[in-house]
């Protein structure tokens, strides 16, 4: 049985929560590992964090926002908790965003120092990015920090780890712990300021919804700069006593499915795009140890769910969230209450309201409030200033419907509706229709200006021979309104995808606009 939501757990700092988990599950319990296959127990995580954190504290100021630009790894987690121990804020930088967006993020959050690793930079081919960042920020390498650790530092670290609560910074749970940045799928990224309490509340909300056993082993290939990768992949296992395995990239499908079998993973995190790939490349038995797969960030296609269940008997637990909510807002469960096609029900302590939208029936614009909702945004036009919600309500920008049992169905983002002939048409629904006809490909519906109807829909597809006539026949056979039929289908060899696995709608829009000129 999942436990009750414990509000008192949110009155700790993240490092204090780590210490509590160590006490509860035992310092010698192996708790985290990565592709280097050098697992750490709780004792070593605490010790390493204290030693590294003290070194970081020497080159940064109390409460400073420090950039962390690194792949998901044990080193990233130790660096993160080192910052938490000594009262720094960790800004998780999206290394796939390009130097302009990264510089913009750093300026918004007033970041002066960026911590990275030479090994990561070389492996990811990010030397040109670092060459640019090095001109504007103090770039520090983990390798240099480790080389500077002396025998005296190690002895002091042992003392710190023995009596950590006497050493760590006195941190207000409501202080900002983490700065994440929105994916920029529909515009310039914004900084999202999350407190210790926000993140711990979300962990408690998930644990109060799904029965998470200490015997489980989680595998997360999502980036740590992504809210699902940070909260679900890194923090949730550590705080909940599950052994976590971090993998640096979701793109290595064959490696990941073999790793699931090798480490006997219980839970896998992913997005529909990646889960579909994993299912297709997996051999018999590769995924058989999984209890369930947690999916978010994009809608799970029925084809993905059916393929996974048919081949491996593994259910998908689909959830819904936002970076601003740390991120989980709602989630299904891996039992009989799992409702495919929905994103489950609201997690405990989550308040919600719907705002009706003219032209859209059977749902509304979703607003949420709760202990997991962020402190506020930081933007480039007001560097370092956390801009909170006036009333605490977060406008998700999503149109949803909620049934009598509380199950939530995402209709689409409000920005992803087109007004055609005076009616609101969901671009998400159009993508779903195309996927139902051509399930093995990726399709993106885009709205463009139309002098006659106000807007027109075009469909980007990586299916070279996708014919509009075939899609029109599917519409007629399945009762879909032809008002939503794309005016044309544009072949794109590669659909733009963000590092988080989401469709890059900004560049998809540009691609569509360029194709119709």
CB distance 250 to 274 below 8 Å:
yes
pLDDT digits (tens, 9 = 90+) for 203-221: 999 999 999 999 999 999 9
Which DSSP state fits 11?
G
Mean pLDDT within 4-31: 93
Can you say whether the dihedral through the CA atoms of 428, 363, 333, 220 is positive or negative?
A: positive
Quickly state the pLDDT bin for 380 (edges 50, 70, 90): confident
Contacts of 229 (CB under 8 A, 6+ apart): 72, 220, 222, 223, 269
CB distance 77 to 246 below 8 Å:
yes
In the chain, the domains with their CATH numbers are 7-402 (3.40.50.12780), 421-516 (3.30.300.30)
Task: Name the pairing type of β-strands 360-369 and 351-357.
Answer: antiparallel
Of 308, 329, 334, the residue nearest 319 (C-alpha): 329
| Residue pointed to by tokens 């770039």 | 139
HEC letters along 470-504: HHHHHHHHHCCCHHHCCCEEEECCCCCECCCCCEC
Three-class DSSP category at 435:
helix
Of 461, 341, 324, 470, the residue nearest 400 (C-alpha): 341
More confident residue, 82 or 426: 82
CB distance 277 to 497 below 8 Å:
no
Mean pLDDT within 338-354: 95
Contacts of 435 (CB under 8 A, 6+ apart): 301, 303, 441, 443
Q: Which of 101-115, 177-191, 258-272 has the lowest mean pLDDT?
A: 177-191
Mean pLDDT within 171-180: 96
pLDDT digits (tens, 9 = 90+) for 125-172: 999 999 999 999 999 999 999 999 999 999 998 998 899 989 999 999
Centre a 10 Å sphere on the Cβ of residue 143 and count the other Cβ atoms it contains.
14
* Percent of the chain whose pLDDT exceeds 90: 62
Q: Is pLDDT at 185 greater than 60 in this prediction?
A: no
Residue 480: the pLDDT is 77
For helices 151-162 and 42-58, what crossing angle results, to 10°? 120
Which DSSP state fits 398?
E
CB distance 399 to 363 below 8 Å:
yes
pLDDT digits (tens, 9 = 90+) for 293-318: 999 888 888 889 999 999 999 999 99
CB distance 483 to 162 below 8 Å:
no
Centre a 10 Å sphere on the Cβ of residue 177 and count the other Cβ atoms it contains.
26
Residue 332: the pLDDT is 96
More confident residue, 180 or 441: 180
Q: Is pLDDT at 322 greater than 70 in this prediction?
A: yes
Residue 499: the pLDDT is 67
Residue 424: the pLDDT is 66
* Percent of the chain whose pLDDT exceeds 70: 95
Q: Is pLDDT at 1 greater than 60 in this prediction?
A: no
| Residue pointed to by tokens 């400073």 | 64
| Pairwise CA distance, residues 20 & 517, whole Å | 60
Mean pLDDT within 50-75: 95
Quickly state the pLDDT bin for 514 (edges 50, 70, 90): confident
Composition of the chain by helix, strand, coil, percent to 5: 35, 25, 35
pLDDT digits (tens, 9 = 90+) for 270-296: 988 889 999 999 998 899 999 999 998
Q: What is the pTM of this model?
A: 0.84
- Contacts of residues 303-308 at CB distance under 8 Å and 24 or more positions apart, as own/partner, are 303/276, 303/435, 303/439, 304/272, 304/275, 304/276, 304/279, 305/340, 307/276, 307/279, 307/280, 308/275, 308/279
| Pairwise CA distance, residues 65 & 87, whole Å | 10
Here the tokens at position 221 are 């290939």
Average pLDDT score over the chain: 90
| Residue pointed to by tokens 């297709």 | 280
CB distance 324 to 334 below 8 Å:
no
Here the tokens at position 230 are 């940070």
pLDDT digits (tens, 9 = 90+) for 469-495: 898 888 888 877 777 888 889 898 888
Residue 423: the pLDDT is 64
DSSP assignment string, 78-135 = HHHHHHHHTTPEEEE--TTS-HHHHHHHHHHHT--EEEE-HHHHHHHT-HHHHHHHTT
């Amino acid at each position: 049985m999942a436990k009750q939501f414990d509000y008192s757990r949110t009155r700790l700092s993240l490092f204090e929560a780590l210490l509590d988990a160590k006490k509860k599950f035992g310092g010698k319990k192996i708790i985290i590992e990565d592709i280097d296959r050098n697992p750490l127990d709780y004792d070593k995580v605490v010790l390493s964090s204290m030693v590294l954190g003290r070194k970081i504290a020497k080159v940064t100021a109390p409460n400073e926002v420090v950039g962390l630009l690194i792949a998901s790894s044990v080193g990233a987690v130790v660096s993160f908790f080192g910052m938490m121990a000594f009262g720094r804020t960790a800004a998780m930088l999206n290394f796939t965003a390009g130097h302009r967006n990264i510089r913009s993020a750093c300026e918004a959050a007033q970041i002066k120092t960026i911590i990275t690793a030479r090994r990561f930079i070389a492996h990811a081919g990010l030397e040109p990015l670092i060459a640019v960042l090095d001109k504007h920020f103090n770039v520090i390498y983990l390798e240099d920090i480790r080389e500077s650790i002396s025998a005296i530092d190690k002895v002091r670290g042992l003392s710190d780890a023995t009596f950590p609560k006497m050493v760590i910074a006195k941190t207000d749970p409501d202080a900002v712990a983490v700065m994440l940045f929105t994916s920029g799928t529909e515009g310039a990224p914004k900084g999202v300021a999350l407190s210790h309490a926000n993140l711990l509340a979300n962990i408690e909300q998930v644990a109060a919804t799904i029965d998470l056993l200490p015997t489980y082993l989680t595998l997360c290939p999502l980036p740590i700069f992504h809210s699902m990768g940070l909260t679900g992949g890194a923090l949730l296992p550590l705080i909940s006593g599950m052994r976590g395995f971090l993998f640096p990239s979701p793109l290595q499908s064959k490696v990941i499915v073999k790793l699931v079998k090798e480490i006997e993973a219980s839970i896998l995190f992913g997005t529909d795009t990646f889960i579909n790939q994993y299912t297709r490349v997996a051999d018999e038995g590769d995924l058989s140890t999984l209890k369930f797969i947690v999916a978010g960030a994009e809608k799970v296609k029925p084809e993905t769910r059916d393929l996974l269940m048919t081949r491996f008997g593994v259910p998908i637990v689909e959830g819904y969230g936002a970076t601003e909510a740390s991120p989980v807002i709602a989630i299904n469960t891996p039992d009989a209450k799992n409702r495919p096609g929905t994103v489950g029900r609201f997690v405990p302590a989550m308040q919600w309201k719907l705002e009706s939208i003219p032209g859209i029936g059977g749902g509304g614009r979703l607003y949420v409030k709760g202990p997991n909702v962020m402190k506020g945004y930081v933007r480039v036009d007001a560097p370092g200033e956390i801009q909170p919600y006036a009333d605490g309500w977060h406008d998700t920008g999503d149109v949803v419907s909620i049934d009598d049992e509380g199950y939530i169905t995402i209709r689409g983002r409000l920005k992803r509706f087109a007004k055609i002939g005076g009616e609101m048409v969901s671009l998400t629904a159009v993508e779903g229709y195309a996927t139902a006809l051509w399930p093995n490909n990726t399709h993106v519906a885009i709205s463009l200006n139309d002098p006659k109807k106000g807007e027109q829909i075009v469909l980007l597809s990586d299916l070279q021979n996708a014919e509009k006539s075939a899609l029109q026949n599917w519409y007629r056979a399945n009762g879909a309104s032809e008002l939503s039929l794309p005016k044309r289908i544009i072949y794109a060899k590669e659909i733009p995808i963000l590092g988080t696995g989401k469709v890059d709608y900004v560049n998809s829009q540009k691609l569509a606009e360029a194709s119709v000129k």
